[in-house]
A and B are shown apart, each in its own frame.
Chain A
Amino acid sequence: MKTVEEIKAAIEAAVPGAAVEIVSNPSVSGQHSLRLAPGCAIEVARFLRDDAELALGYLSNVTGIDWPDKEITEKVKVAHRVVKTVEGVEKTVEETVEEMRQRLEPGCLEAVYHLYSVAKKHGPVILRMRTIDRTDHVELPSLTTIWRSAEFQEREIFDLYGIVFTGHPDLRRLLMWDSFKDHPMRKDYREPDDFEYEPTAHDDVLKRAQEHQAAAGSGNTEAER
């Protein structure tokens, strides 16, 4: 099979204006993936499926990733001009000082597609797409028109992560009920508080169970019930 670099080159040759970025995987498996710009994703997907050499006709898996907003603290070297007195003479000296700076890396939602070729017996080729942010711009193009098997899996991602797949033929929640508002697989999801009874609580559950026990101990036991 072609390497990711070769696939990237093939995509860029076949689809003009396609923005493809290689996401390398440093682990032993070395499963590098291709991050597509959402705008050109459908054309790229069609090329990957129909190309005679790649023939990636089988979409085995679609999944989602939630990347929450991240605060990064890093050391930055900053050049300063400092006036110093060296041997009785005033001089302007350049000094590099290390400063701690904080920056906020905005989060996003990501969809990951695993492709195989049944005819050529190769794969996987991994595609990724990222939304602009986690709250307001969560649209990605649906690849259901290219691989029909994406339909339910994109619905599942819509349900659990909240990515809205534009062009999906039937975008409804798959696992949770329709009136449910949350997206449970997001990192900031907090499950409903029904930890009032935990006989063998531990870790986070223990903390939440203890809150209930403290409330029960302060005299409103009957109100709790």
Chain B
Amino acid sequence: MVDEGLKIELGKQGVFVTTIEDLYNWGRRNSVWPMQFGLACCAIEMIATTMARYDLARFGAEVFRPSPRQADLMIVSGTVTKKMAPQVVRLYNQMAEPRYVIAMGACAISGGPFKQGYNVLKGIDRYIPVDVHIPGCPPRPEALIQAFMTLQKKIDAQHLTGEDRPRFLDAEQQGEFPVPVQGEHDLEPAHNPGVWTVPVVIR
């Protein structure tokens, strides 16, 4: 690693020094293109975030892509019903690595006000790995921008080698996540044990 002071000194002399990791992460974090899909009222806030007033494009989310093949970020914006959940997981599987997920709003993180409903999944993190959860019903555009910046910080902090390298650089990590099957009474399985374990509640 280059000493930070030396880096500044060299910069004054017109020499730019960086590491591959910094350059790679800089590129990744500033071109996170979200996928164009919304599930419920949170999607309206997501649309508002991309419009002129909040302008998510300032952060590198330049354009919402209508195909999972071209998208880097899945914003799960709204209630995930049990009928929709297999399609959401399938879309996530179709995205190319590196890929990220923001679970936006109370429904996407836990089921929210519909948690006790027979038809609502209690959080999309039961099937796919979620990078950032934002609470709110729905969250304001500022909250989505906050989540986006949190994701950028997370990307920036990743090391490309070593034990804590991101999933897509680890050949042993799973790349495809099992799509739940719509069974006779519920989705089967009810959650992916490789992704989600029962949280320990401290009382």
Known A194-B122, A205-B116, A225-B193; judge A179-B198 contact (CB<8 A): no
Please tell me if the beta carbons of B184 and A225 are within 8 angstroms of each other in the complex.
Answer: no
User: Which A positions have Cβ atoms within 8 angstroms of B?
Assistant: 175-177, 179-182, 184, 189, 191-192, 194, 196-197, 199, 205, 216, 224-225
Please tell me if the beta carbons of B116 and A191 are within 8 angstroms of each other in the complex.
Answer: yes
Please tell me if the beta carbons of B119 and A184 are within 8 angstroms of each other in the complex.
Answer: yes
Please tell me if the beta carbons of A181 and B83 are within 8 angstroms of each other in the complex.
Answer: no
Please tell me if the beta carbons of A224 and B198 are within 8 angstroms of each other in the complex.
Answer: yes
Please tell me if the beta carbons of B118 and A175 are within 8 angstroms of each other in the complex.
Answer: no
Q: Most B CB atoms within 10 A — which of A189, A196, A197, A225?
A: A197
What A residues does B83 contact at CB under 8 A? 175-177
What B residues does A224 contact at CB under 8 A? 198
Q: Specify the main secondary structure of chain B where it touches its partner.
A: loop
Q: How far is the CA of A122 from the CA of B185 in the complex (A)?
A: 43
Partner of B185, one of A180, A199, A205, A216: A180
B190 within 8 A of A: yes
B186 within 8 A of A: yes
Total contacting residues, chain B, CB less than 8 A: 19
Known A181-B184, A192-B185, A197-B199; judge A176-B119 contact (CB<8 A): yes
Partner of B184, one of A175, A179, A189, A205: A179
> How far, in Å, is A118 (CB) from chain B's closest CB?
31
**30 interchain pairs, CB-CB under 8 A:** A175-B83, A176-B83, A176-B119, A177-B82, A177-B83, A177-B182, A179-B183, A179-B184, A180-B182, A180-B184, A180-B185, A182-B118, A182-B184, A182-B185, A189-B118, A191-B117, A192-B118, A192-B185, A192-B186, A192-B190, A194-B122, A194-B190, A197-B198, A197-B199, A199-B199, A199-B201, A205-B116, A224-B198, A225-B197, A225-B198
- CB nearest to B202 among chain A residues: A199
Q: Most B CB atoms within 10 A — which of A175, A176, A180?
A: A180
Please tell me if the beta carbons of B186 and A194 are within 8 angstroms of each other in the complex.
Answer: yes
Q: How far is the CA of A189 from the CA of B182 in the complex (A)?
A: 18
Partner of B198, one of A177, A189, A216: A216
- Find residues 147-199 in chain B having any chain A CB closer than 8 Å to their own CB: 182-186, 190-191, 193, 197-199
Scoring B residues 119 to 136 as 1 if CB is less than 8 Å from chain A, else 0, what string do you get?
100100000000000000
Q: Most B CB atoms within 10 A — which of A179, A182, A189, A192?
A: A192
- CB nearest to B191 among chain A residues: A194
What B residues does A192 contact at CB under 8 A? 118, 185-186, 190
Q: How far is the CA of A180 from the CA of B82 in the complex (A)?
A: 11
Please tell me if the beta carbons of B185 and A181 are within 8 angstroms of each other in the complex.
Answer: yes
- CB nearest to A213 among chain B residues: B201
- CB nearest to A178 among chain B residues: B182
Please tell me if the beta carbons of B118 and A191 are within 8 angstroms of each other in the complex.
Answer: yes
> How far, in Å, is B29 (CB) from chain A's closest CB?
32
Other A-B contacts than A175-B83, A192-B186, 7 sampled, CB-CB below 8 A, are A179-B184, A180-B182, A181-B184, A181-B185, A182-B185, A184-B118, A194-B122
What B residues does A216 contact at CB under 8 A? 198
Q: How far is the CA of A224 from the CA of B198 in the complex (A)?
A: 8
What B residues does A197 contact at CB under 8 A? 122, 198-199, 201
> How far, in Å, is A184 (CB) from chain B's closest CB?
4
Q: How far is the CA of A179 from the CA of B185 in the complex (A)?
A: 9
Q: How far is the CA of A224 from the CA of B185 in the complex (A)?
A: 20
> How far, in Å, is B141 (CB) from chain A's closest CB?
27
> How far, in Å, is B87 (CB) from chain A's closest CB?
11
Q: How far is the CA of A198 from the CA of B73 in the complex (A)?
A: 29
What A residues does B117 contact at CB under 8 A? 191
What A residues does B197 contact at CB under 8 A? 225
The 3 closest A-B pairs by CB, nearest first: A192-B186, A177-B182, A181-B184
Scoring B residues 13 to 55 as 1 if CB is less than 8 Å from chain A, else 0, what string do you get?
0000000000000000000000000000000000000000000
